[in-house]
Structure 1
């Protein structure tokens, strides 16, 4: 009997089987192939599938708007800098909706504060958006060039599955479009969708997305957060709230309670001492160096 050698590449691995060795080796090789395939459900560059919230450390740090005291807020270069530095495990950004329904990365309802233009964000379409340029603040460390603010699709394509993302839906009209973008990329367990409105949070939950609800110190005085635990995955609480209000949030039964917007080690340490288990900060690089 002659010897037949067959080879095949699966997930970067090569399997070689010789029929003369016997059925047992063939069976073992097939088992190896099956296990390799099962470990690579997503694109190979993601290392076997998208990174999800299950991979977060016990106390994650969030780069708020990319880390707005360290980089130009809500910019692709700022998000990339925060990602490369590795001082945050979550990248946060804001979203608005253009006139034609395109979701874009932007905080304010108007262009005036952070770009060279003025007027309503919702008054532009996708073609006009390509002409918008961010105006980096002078007091930011380092040197930053003006750039176009990205679309949500561009940020999801750049970072989705490589790091956990947090996006605030400033305009609830765009929720279905945001949900479609997240679902199409297999990122429903990798992206928190944030809002200040419990009714919108319930809608986010109904769309099968991870729900984040942020609350101000003033709102927290009368909030009863235990009422939201059936549909809120992450409660985002104001670090300036009273101790009693922070403790009530921590004891609400909501699985994650993270504090915003933390800018000093003292604020961070207080939030953690009161039971918060995540830090949302404009200065992730500085806080990470002073743990």
Structure 2
């Protein structure tokens, strides 16, 4: 089905113990993972053949979710937005296109998704159901009533009511699906909707499943769980959130990176960075990245043959490197940082946030979720080691080293023992910082560079990152 193979998107995944796919909704495990927009929008271009093929190969994805809109000739098109502007080279409304015109759209994923992925064309509902119906559990998201009626007709005609679930923001649309014998879940998007579509109102309509937006409060989520509804949450892309939601009684995790969030280290874990693949690996997530925002300013980009790069700019960008998790309690991390452009503020820096207690979005501010160490190398040559506590940053030690020039490749080695942390600059005569500190021995590492408005940070590339 795909125009770009799943192997091209996921070059060398390790085998996973979860190899028996479920093909009936009744067989879903107690805790399950939904691959958002096909495979997880962070690992393949959303709602494309590449995404569905990639998701089909993922043993940790229990349901493959995709969006459906109705085209002018009554055919279902797989597309998320009401317009084609964001992910194609064209503009205008999706519902103004025939299936022929829709299928000719160029999805320019090589630009907005990056990672060496080729441009492609949209797919139709019929293709998805023909290719995967009865082979993988599917979760269709009809975007309006017309799309819901079309999905109901196509699913029932194929006898796939036990293999295709639907989801929608509309209780009335979901009631149509339930009346036709389909399973479905109601999406709860915000607090205003939660006040209308209360647990009692949902249950009164015969609805048994809900999927709640992750930004809603614990109290809202708990209300649906305590009412006896089967609850999933979207979009959950970090393991610390998964664990928190499990503690609330949530069963389903709808994710843009389901393999990473599942914790399947046999599949995504590595001792060396995946940058030589020049495509996105599991668990590479920037602090402001979303399914709708995947440009270089949100998660960096690749430079051949084996560099991952953060552009020069006045915005901070630190990206989780999930492939390296879980970090052991003691380890040695080595890397190279190439300063491709220095920026106007020579105090800005590239660096590593390591031994972090959780994989929450990195913040150089005094976040309550902080808990780890930062090793930084400013462009003026200052090497620094800091402890990021909840609510404050503690300077552990700084050291003057040789100032950086454009294009220079700096080497860092970070050694974490049971009693101390050592950071060594290794390009040239070793310059070393050692501090006795045992507060954090967490599982996660981030790479990136610092900047802020009026304080332009350097363009930095990373390569040859190893953990051992």
TM-score under structure 1 length normalisation: 0.78
Distance, in Å, in 1 between the alignment partners of 2:247 and 2:67 is 29
Cα contact 1:69–1:283 (8 A) shared by 2: yes
| Structure 1 residue 114 corresponds to structure 2 residue 87 | yes
1:40-93 C-alpha deviation (Å, 9 max, x unpaired):
xxxxxxxxxx92111211111000112001110001111111211222111001
Aligned residue pairs: how many?
241
Structure 1 counterpart of 2:253, from 279, 282, 285:
279
Distance, in Å, in 1 between the alignment partners of 2:208 and 2:64 is 17
Distance, in Å, in 2 between the alignment partners of 1:74 and 1:175 is 17
Higher percent of residues as helix? 1
Aligned partner of 2:52 in structure 1 is 79
Structure 2's unaligned 5+ residue stretches are 1-21, 266-468
Distance, in Å, in 2 between the alignment partners of 1:206 and 1:221 is 23
Distance, in Å, in 1 between the alignment partners of 2:81 and 2:211 is 20
Structure 2 counterpart of 1:178, from 130, 151, 158:
151
Cα contact 1:111–1:119 (8 A) shared by 2: yes
Aligned partner of 1:216 in structure 2 is 189
- Aligned with 2:178: secondary structure? helix
Counterparts of 1:1-291 in structure 2, within 5 Å, are: 51-66=23-38, 67-136=40-109, 138=111, 140=113, 142-219=115-192, 221-222=194-195, 223-229=197-203, 230-254=205-229, 256-289=230-263
Where in structure 1 do 4 or more consecutive aligned residues deviate above 3 Å? 137-142
- Measure how far apart 1:221 and its partner are: 4.8
Distance, in Å, in 1 between the alignment partners of 2:182 and 2:136 is 16
TM-score under structure 2 length normalisation: 0.49
1:76-135 C-alpha deviation (Å, 9 max, x unpaired):
111111211222111001111101111110001110001111111111112212211212
1:190-238 C-alpha deviation (Å, 9 max, x unpaired):
1111110112211221222112110023236524213222422420012
Cα contact 1:70–1:141 (8 A) shared by 2: no
Distance, in Å, in 1 between the alignment partners of 2:198 and 2:92 is 38
Using CA pairs below 8 Å that are at least 6 residues apart, which structure has the higher relative contact order? 1
1:214-270 C-alpha deviation (Å, 9 max, x unpaired):
00232365242132224224200122211111110112232x210111011111111
- Aligned with 1:262: secondary structure? coil
Distance, in Å, in 1 between the alignment partners of 2:209 and 2:110 is 31
Cα contact 1:265–1:290 (8 A) shared by 2: no
Cα contact 2:239–2:263 (8 A) shared by 1: no
Structure 1's unaligned 5+ residue stretches are 1-49
- Measure how far apart 1:290 and its partner are: 5.8
Distance, in Å, in 2 between the alignment partners of 1:141 and 1:55 is 36
Distance, in Å, in 1 between the alignment partners of 2:194 and 2:67 is 25
